[in-house]
Chains A and B, each alone.
Chain A
C-alpha cells in the first residue's frame, strides 16, 4: 500500500515539476521574444532622449540624456532650426483628415452594407464579388489618374484641388466601398430579421429601421472598423505625399518621411521624438482595444 502511495506521490510531484518546468522555459522564451518585439521601440525612446541627435553615437542609455530633441522638434531650440518644421500642425492635419475620413467612410460603408444585407436587387451578387476583385488591382499606378483627376477638379473647384485636405479626403473615401462592406454585411447578416420586421409592422421606413433599430446594435463592429479605418488613414503615406505639396498642409507621415531625405543619421533623435509622439496614441488605442480588434480581424474568416 505504502509503495503505491509513494509512487503516487513521486508521480504527482513529477507532474508538478514538469508543469513548473514547462512554464519556466516558456517564460524564458517569452523574454527573448519580447526583447525582439520591443527593442526597436526602446531604441527610439532612447534615441529621442539622446541630445546628440545622431545615429552614430547613440547607445541604449543615452550619454547625454535630455529633452533637446523634443525642443528641436517643436522649434524651441534656437541653435538648431529645421527649415519647414510644423510638427503640431502635421499632427493636427493627420488627426483632422483621419477623423473626417473615418466618420464619412463609416456612413458610406454601413449604409451600403445595409442595402446588401437587407434588400434583394439585380446585380447584388455581382457587385459584392466585384468589390472584392477590385481590391486586388495594384492601385499604385492609379496614382497617375488620381493625380490628374484632383488637379483638374482643382482648376474648377479650387477647394477640392491639389494640396487641399478636402481633395485628399475625397480620394480616401473612394476606398470606402471595399472589404469593410463585407465585414459590415457579415455582421448585419447575423442580426435577426425579426427586428426589422417588428419595425415594418409598425410602419417604419427603411431609414427609420436602419437608424433607430439596427444602428445601435452595430456599435461594436462600428468601433472596430472605425478604429481600423482611422489608423489606416492616419498611417497612409503615398496618397498624401502625392497630393499635398505645401509643407504646412502635410500629414504627419509625410512630414516624418522628410527626415529620411538627406542626412537621416544626423536627424535621428528628432525623428525618434516625432515618431514616438506620432505612434503612441495609436499604440495605446490598439493595446486597450486589442480583443475587440482581434475579433474584428478574424470575423470574416474564423468561424466557429
Chain B
C-alpha cells in the first residue's frame, strides 16, 4: 500500500517536513538563541530593564513558535509578530503606563537617581570651621583661593579640584609675604583685600569638588566649609533641612514640606488617575481643551463632507464612458493625490503666506484685502480645511467612480420611466447605494482626519495661539497635535509625557469607539467569523 492509502480519513494536507528542513530549523533556532542571549546579557548589564523584558518575551515566543508543532501557522508571521510586539504593542503599553505617572520635566529621573542629587545640595553654615582667605584671579576670569585654617594649616583651592594642603614655595606658588600668604600664584593675579571684597562673583564660587568637600567665601574675612543641607532618612523617606530643620516628605514624586515648599528635582512615580482628572477638571486647561475638542470634531466632519462631495461631484460629472478627454481630465484632477503629503503641505504654506504668498498678493491687488490666514482663528481654520479639501478630494474621486460603475443602469432606467427627476434619481438611488459601498471609507477618512497631525502641525503648527492658555495651544490644534506639543515641545509648563499620554489614551478611546461602530456597521467582524 502507498502512504496515501494509510491515512485515507484525513483531508488533503500539505506534505510533512523533511529531516533536512527539521535540522535547518533547529540550527537556526540555536543561532537565534545564542544571539538573543548575548543581546539580553548586554542589555541587562547596561541596565535597560524594560528592553530586556520585551526582547526576552519575544525571544521566548519565537522559540515556542519554531519548536512547537501546533504553532506552525505562526512561523509564517514570526518576524512580523516580533516587530509588531516591539514597535507597536510595547509602545502602547508604555504609553498607558506613562499616563498613570508624572513623567515629564521635573520628574524625569527615578527616585534612586534623585536622592543622591538632592543629597549633593550644600549650604554655608553660619557657624563652624572657618578659614581666612586671599583670592587670586587669572586673566580669563578663573579664581583660586589661599586658605589658612585656625590650626595654621594652609591650602590652595580651585573649583572642581579636590582640596589638598599647600605651602608657599610649592611648585607654581610664590614666596610668602609677611603674613605667610604667597605673593604670587602661577597664572593668577593676587587681588588686594578691597578688590576681593568688592568682587561680585567670588561669593558664589564653590571651591573643591561638589559632593565632596567644598569651601565658599562667607564674608570678607572668612571662608567656610559647606555642609550637606538635606539629610535623607530611608525609614521615613524624607529629607531634613539641616539649616532650618524643615522636614520634606515624599508626595506624588516631589519632596514637599508642610508649608508646600518643594525640593528639586522630583522623581518619576505613579500618580493614579491624576492626569485624567486634571484633563477633566483643571480650569487652566479647560479653556483650550474645550476649544480643541470642539475643533477636533468639526475639522474631520467638514473635511470628510467637503472632500467626499467634491470627489463625488467629479465622479458623476465625468462618469460617462464616452465623455471627451475623460482620461486626461481625471489624471489632471488626480494630481494632488500623487504628491507626497509633506511636500504639498509645505507648498500650500508658502502660497498662503499672508505677507508674501501668491494668493494674498493677488487678492490684495484685486480687492485691497486678503484673509489673515495665520493670525485669525477663523481664517486659519478655513485655510486648513481648504488645503485638506485639495489633498483629499482625489481619493474620493477614485473610490466613488469605482463604486458608481457598480450601480446597475437598470435602476436608473426604471426610475426615469417612472418620471423621477435627476435629483430624485441621485438622492434615491445613487446616494444610498454609494453610501453602502463607500461608507466604511468615509469613516476611515474621518478617523484619519481626526488624527491628521501632519497637516495641522506642518502647515500651521496649530496656530494662531489661544491667548491666555496655560499650555501651548492654538485655534487649529487638534488633540493629537496638542499632545505632541505637550510631549515634545516644552512650552510654559515644560515637557509633560504623563499628561500627554493620558490625552492620547482618551483619543484612542474616542477613535476606537468610532472604529468599532464602523466594523459593526460593515459587518466586518461577522465576516471574519464566517470564514473560519
- List chain A positions with a Cβ less than 8 A from chain B: 23, 26-27, 29-30, 33-34, 36-38, 40-41, 43-44, 47, 54-56, 58, 108-109, 111-112, 114-115, 119-121, 124-125, 128-129, 132-134, 136-146, 148-149, 152-153, 155-157, 170-171, 173-177, 189, 197, 199-201, 203-206, 209, 231, 234-235, 237-238, 253, 256-257, 259-260, 264-265, 268, 271-272, 275, 278-279, 282-283, 285-287, 290, 293-295, 297-298, 300-304
Which of B12, B342, B480 interacts with A237 by CB under 8 Å?
A: B342
Q: Which of B398-416 contact A (CB under 8 A)?
A: 398-399, 401-403, 406
The answer to whether B95 and A174 touch across the interface, beta carbons within 8 angstroms, is no
Query: Which residues of chain B are near A175, meaning CB under 8 Å?
Result: 87-88
The answer to whether A138 and B350 touch across the interface, beta carbons within 8 angstroms, is no
Which of A55, A129, A152, A290 interacts with B331 by CB under 8 Å?
A: A290
The answer to whether B350 and A268 touch across the interface, beta carbons within 8 angstroms, is yes
Least Cβ–Cβ distance between B483 and chain A, in angstroms:
6
Query: Which residues of chain B are near A302, meaning CB under 8 Å?
Result: 399, 402-403, 406, 437-438
Least Cβ–Cβ distance between B520 and chain A, in angstroms:
12
Query: Which residues of chain B are near A173, meaning CB under 8 Å?
Result: 79-80, 83, 87
The answer to whether B83 and A174 touch across the interface, beta carbons within 8 angstroms, is yes
Query: Which residues of chain A are near B487, meaning CB under 8 Å?
Result: 140-141, 144
Per-residue 0/1 for B78-94: is the Cβ within 8 Å of any A Cβ (1 yes, 0 no)?
A: 01110110111111101
Is B454 interfacial (CB 8 A cutoff)?
yes
Is B14 interfacial (CB 8 A cutoff)?
yes
Known: A30-B329, A174-B84, A237-B342. A141 touches B501 (CB 8 A): yes
- The majority secondary structure among interface residues of chain B is helix
Given contacts A141-B91, A235-B342, list 18 more A-B pairs with CB under 8 A. Answer: A30-B317, A30-B325, A34-B329, A38-B335, A41-B339, A119-B72, A136-B515, A141-B497, A142-B94, A149-B86, A153-B51, A205-B15, A237-B458, A253-B343, A265-B350, A294-B398, A294-B402, A302-B403
The answer to whether B51 and A134 touch across the interface, beta carbons within 8 angstroms, is no
Query: Which residues of chain B are near A197, meaning CB under 8 Å?
Result: 12
Is B113 interfacial (CB 8 A cutoff)?
no
Per the bound structure, the CA–CA distance linking A121 and B80 in Å amounts to 17
Per the bound structure, the CA–CA distance linking A298 and B441 in Å amounts to 9
Task: List, sorted by A's number, 20 A–B pairs whose CB atoms are closer than 8 Å.
Answer: A23-B324, A55-B353, A124-B532, A125-B528, A139-B91, A140-B504, A144-B497, A145-B90, A149-B86, A156-B42, A173-B79, A174-B88, A257-B342, A279-B338, A283-B338, A293-B398, A294-B398, A298-B403, A301-B437, A302-B406
The answer to whether B350 and A108 touch across the interface, beta carbons within 8 angstroms, is no
Chain A residue with Cβ nearest B92: A137
Known: A38-B335, A175-B87, A302-B437. A203 touches B323 (CB 8 A): no
The answer to whether A136 and B331 touch across the interface, beta carbons within 8 angstroms, is no
Least Cβ–Cβ distance between B339 and chain A, in angstroms:
5
The answer to whether B480 and A138 touch across the interface, beta carbons within 8 angstroms, is yes
Which of A108, A128, A145, A268 interacts with B91 by CB under 8 Å?
A: A145
Least Cβ–Cβ distance between B489 and chain A, in angstroms:
13
Query: Which residues of chain A are near B81, meaning CB under 8 Å?
Result: 177
The answer to whether A30 and B51 touch across the interface, beta carbons within 8 angstroms, is no
The answer to whether A297 and B350 touch across the interface, beta carbons within 8 angstroms, is no
Per the bound structure, the CA–CA distance linking A146 and B401 in Å amounts to 40
Per-residue 0/1 for B42-78: is the Cβ within 8 Å of any A Cβ (1 yes, 0 no)?
A: 1100101011001000000000000000101110110
Query: Which residues of chain A are near B524, meaning CB under 8 Å?
Result: 132
Which of B341, B350, B451, B515 interacts with A235 by CB under 8 Å?
A: B341
Of residues B14, B335, B451, B515, which shows the largest number of chain A Cβ atoms within 10 Å of its Cβ?
Answer: B14
- List chain B positions with a Cβ less than 8 A from chain A: 12-15, 17, 39, 42-43, 46, 48, 50-51, 54, 70, 72-74, 76-77, 79-81, 83-84, 86-92, 94-95, 98, 314, 317-318, 323-325, 329-344, 346-351, 353, 355-358, 390, 394-395, 398-399, 401-403, 406, 437-438, 440-441, 447, 451, 453-454, 458, 480, 483-484, 487-488, 497, 500-501, 504, 507-508, 511-512, 515-516, 519, 522, 524-525, 528-529, 531-532
The answer to whether A58 and B89 touch across the interface, beta carbons within 8 angstroms, is no
The answer to whether B390 and A298 touch across the interface, beta carbons within 8 angstroms, is no
Per the bound structure, the CA–CA distance linking A290 and B89 in Å amounts to 34
The answer to whether B343 and A174 touch across the interface, beta carbons within 8 angstroms, is no
Query: Which residues of chain A are near B394, meaning CB under 8 Å?
Result: 37
The answer to whether B73 and A115 touch across the interface, beta carbons within 8 angstroms, is yes
Which of B336, B337, B484, B512 interacts with A140 by CB under 8 Å?
A: B484
Least Cβ–Cβ distance between A193 and chain B, in angstroms:
10
Query: Which residues of chain B are near A38, meaning CB under 8 Å?
Result: 332, 335
Least Cβ–Cβ distance between B107 and chain A, in angstroms:
14
Query: Which residues of chain A are near B331, meaning CB under 8 Å?
Result: 287, 290
Per the bound structure, the CA–CA distance linking A43 and B347 in Å amounts to 9
Known: A55-B357, A177-B83, A290-B331. A152 touches B51 (CB 8 A): yes
Least Cβ–Cβ distance between A20 and chain B, in angstroms:
11
Of residues A33, A153, A204, A235, which shows the largest number of chain B Cβ atoms within 10 Å of its Cβ?
Answer: A33
Query: Which residues of chain B are near A112, meaning CB under 8 Å?
Result: 76-77, 80
Least Cβ–Cβ distance between A134 and chain B, in angstroms:
6
Query: Which residues of chain A are near B522, meaning CB under 8 Å?
Result: 301
Per the bound structure, the CA–CA distance linking A27 and B438 in Å amounts to 27
The answer to whether A231 and B347 touch across the interface, beta carbons within 8 angstroms, is no
The answer to whether A275 and B343 touch across the interface, beta carbons within 8 angstroms, is yes
Per the bound structure, the CA–CA distance linking A125 and B527 in Å amounts to 10
Per the bound structure, the CA–CA distance linking A139 and B73 in Å amounts to 28
Query: Which residues of chain A are near B507, meaning CB under 8 Å?
Result: 138
Which of A136, A155, A298 interacts with B46 by CB under 8 Å?
A: A155
The answer to whether B335 and A134 touch across the interface, beta carbons within 8 angstroms, is no
Known: A43-B347, A157-B39, A301-B437. A140 touches B80 (CB 8 A): no
